[in-house]
Structure 1
Amino acid sequence: MTLQILPVTGLPEIDADSDLAALIAKAATYRDGDVLVVTSKIVSKAEGRVLRATDREAAIDAETVRVVARRGPVRIVENRNGLVMAAAGVDASNTAPGTVLLLPEDPDASARALRVRLQQLTGLRLAVVLTDTFGRPWRNGLTDVAIGAAGLPALEDHRGRTDSHGNELAMTVTATADELAAAADLVKGKATGTPVAVVRGLGHLVTAEDGEGARPLVRASADDMFRLGTSEALRQAVTLRRTIRAFTPEPVDPGAVRRAVDAAVTAPAPHHTTPWRFVLLESAEVRTRLLDAMLAAWQRDLRELDGWDDARIARRTARGDVLRDAPYLVVPCLVTDGSHDYPDARRAAAEREMFTVAIGAAVQNLLVTLAGEGYGTAWVSSTMFCRDTVRAALDLPAGWDPMGAVAVGRPAEPPRERPARSAAAFVEVR
């Protein structure tokens, strides 16, 4: 098989009055089975996707559905077609001053329309790939990728086949359309003014039907392990850190909890101390023993100290069901070893508060990290009201003060939406 990549030269400047397919058809001689690789910018111009805009950032905002990562003025975003790229594909190059160029509204539809017209004009069986320039995570430099396609499969699935050594391929799916886009860019490009190339010799890829287009190249969010930049991932984890009241019975990965504890113990603490201990209740028997002991202590105190009747006690203690129903519990404990011993009550109270703030920061790290692992949590204060009972049930040292309990598990349902909360209401500037 001989493979050729040929530039299509001599195309004029394209605008909204141009018959792009006719211009491409006249610019070169084509053969049956050719793949025409077309820079999306000229398709955008032919479709009138030129926007007069003095503020490129506003144009990017309009095309963005999700910010993936941001560093200074640079934004990697997801656009309306699910493409993750710099600046939503809004381009201020190769367009008149005072204007910006947007990507085609539906690149696959544009590829199909261009293919239909080219096949009518040439009488040949052709495929069309629309491209744009992308950066890539972990790699320097830019390359063209397919954002629209018609007449060929964008992906080639090799799973189930065997390699030259007889090993079955289990993961290999080739991004054929992206390979064609990158190869064609070797003979075209912005600087040369050659927006179209022909890839010849791959006629076996060209199909009678338009096919699914380039959409299969876009990774589904559920399969995307690198969906967000670092700061965005942290912000999303903080947002996802919601109190969850119902969990599925799916077991919790103990390794995920230990990774969360690794993050928890990086919290700031006074006097270079490590005032945290995390008791991980991985045994259902231990969880039940603790919760039964706590329930008995609560019932006794509410009856004897508060004078509540049984019905009211039952309603109050039912709040603990979130702990009983969770498949995993963590009991964070405060240890004040290393605290200063002040003789006056005022400074002694402040010293205790410093340590309490430290464990609050540690627990927040724990909750956010678990949210990043896909787990829901509920931090419940009940162990703080019966510390002696908890210490006895879990055989903890006398100096360990339980600071609530964290229920961990997969959420049984998504948390309800809540309105955005502006920081302005909580900020005072002096």
Structure 2
Amino acid sequence: MSAEQVPGYRVWALPGMPEVRPGDDLVKLIAAAATADGLPQLADGDVLLVTSKIVSKAEGRVLEATDREAAIDRETVRVVARRGTLRIVQNRQGLVMAAAGVDASNTRAGTVLLLPEDPDASARAIRAGLRTALGVDVGVVVSDTFGRPWRAGLTDVAIGAAGVRVLDDLRGGTDAYGNPLSATVVATADELAAAGDLVKGKATGLPVAVVRGLGHVVESAGDGDGARALVRDAGSDMFRLGTSEAVREAVTLRRTVRAFTDEPVDPGAVRRAVAAALTAPAPHHTTPWRFVLLESAEARRRLLDAMREAWIADLRADGKSPESIAKRVRRGDVLRNAPYLAVPCVVADGAHSYPDARRGAAEREMFLVAGGAGIQNFLVALAGEQLGSAWVSSTMFCRDVVRDVLGLPENWEPMGAVAIGRPAGAPKERPPRAADDFVVVR
């Protein structure tokens, strides 16, 4: 391969950009900086990399604000994580970043800069304006500085784009060894933004850079998808929340689900939920939790049939009518219709014995409370696995039957049954509850 055939590109900062102020014609300023001796210094296929700060200034996104935190509040739609005063949030543009992108640097004292209202639209306007002013067809990337999960330091990424292939999807191709590429999607616009930052810098007064030699990433027709395509949707974002926020959301998402799809349940997900259950508090350093996992349809049928017979016998003994019995038994369908069942049990190994009934009853209650704590952990962890659940108390009313059918030791106390599966629909909105209504302060 000759030197001319070796892939390469050139990147440089565009000199001559003045201080941008609200209301300035940004296209006119860039066009002037990109013209020398009456000739445009931009060419078809170039990519222009524009720092978002000058876009914000030109568009009047300068806010008089002595309180930056209040500005962050206004730009935030969802808090992702909070550590002290640092907030990682999703802002009104859909970007997840520190402080909602509100910046107090490179602007006069007493003001803050907000991100462009629509960075993709800003990029489209710059591209169209340069086509008219200079007669060139360039790609445009509007960039901003981000921190990244798992990595120290900052880098520029694309928050707006026009005429640039923001994602290069290599799936379906092969590598140099012939191996199929099944997951490789390159964030081309982010790579361009980072390349531009190397020559623009953070405090050099060079807010615009040019990349030449990568014409294949410039869209030949139309403005392309824009940088919005780089933002993961909620369904594919595995790291949507910080640790403490994820725990709180999982607790909130834990809802009783009574209708499930036929989609099979991953046994590994249930076992991970069991592992979470085992972190609950328990008396005397004991581990009183046991979980019987009914993974076969036959095991579920045998248990539920036996429980139904015991329930019907109890209801008949109570003098209930056949219609009343049928109606009550139908309430157990949530267990019968679930693709997976778990029967949590409490084993009071390590319980202290006392000569009087009062302390003996309290000892038993301690273990039952620990069992409930473990079940709550289990249900919350299932919600974190995107699984719905319903904790039904029915096994507690026929423990001997349950132990007999499942072959459990006599000292295992079934604590209800948990129906598990993918929710068939979104749960109803839960009425808000004010914490103060449940608090007594002394």
Tell me the TM-score normalised to structure 2 length: 0.94
Which residue does the alignment assign to 1:260? Answer: 273
Which residue does the alignment assign to 1:51? Answer: 63
Which residue does the alignment assign to 1:74? Answer: 86
Q: Report 1:2-401 matches (<5 A).
A: 2-28=8-34, 29-207=41-219, 208-304=221-317, 306-401=318-413
Residue identity in the other structure for 1:24: I
Query: Structure 2 CA distance, aligned partners of 1:368 and 1:96?
Result: 48
Q: Deviations over 1:232-276 (max 9, x none)?
A: 111111111100000111111111111111111111100111111
Residue identity in the other structure for 1:320: G
Greater shift, 324-333 or 310-319, is seen at 310-319
Residue identity in the other structure for 1:67: V
Residue identity in the other structure for 1:74: L
Q: Check conservation: 2:66, 2:110, Cα contact below 8 A.
A: yes
Q: Deviations over 1:21-57 (max 9, x none)?
A: 1111111332232211000111011001111222222
- Return closer, same or farther for 1:204/1:285 CA change in 2, 3 Å cut-off: closer
Query: Structure 1 CA distance, aligned partners of 2:441 and 2:201?
Result: 51
Query: Structure 2 CA distance, aligned partners of 1:252 and 1:32?
Result: 54
Q: Check conservation: 2:13, 2:206, Cα contact below 8 A.
A: yes
Residue identity in the other structure for 1:281: L
RMSD: 1.3
Query: Structure 1 CA distance, aligned partners of 2:301 and 2:176?
Result: 56
Query: Structure 2 CA distance, aligned partners of 1:17 and 1:222?
Result: 39
Of the three residues 418, 425, 428, the one matched with 1:416 is 428
Helix, strand or coil: the match of 2:97?
Answer: strand
Helix, strand or coil: the match of 1:311?
Answer: helix
TM superposition shift of 1:167: 2.3
Query: Structure 1 CA distance, aligned partners of 2:78 and 2:289?
Result: 37
TM superposition shift of 1:190: 2.6
Helix, strand or coil: the match of 2:115?
Answer: coil
| Unaligned ranges ≥5, structure 1 | none
Q: Deviations over 1:179-223 (max 9, x none)?
A: 110000011133111111111112232234211111111112212
TM superposition shift of 1:2: 4.5
Helix, strand or coil: the match of 1:186?
Answer: helix
Percent identity between the aligned chains?
72
Helix, strand or coil: the match of 1:333?
Answer: strand
Q: Deviations over 1:363-418 (max 9, x none)?
A: 11111111111110000011111111111121111111111000001111111112
Q: Deviations over 1:313-372 (max 9, x none)?
A: 111222111011111111111111111111222211111111111011101111111111
- Return closer, same or farther for 1:167/1:337 CA change in 2, 3 Å cut-off: closer
Q: Deviations over 1:129-166 (max 9, x none)?
A: 00000011100000000000111111111122222222
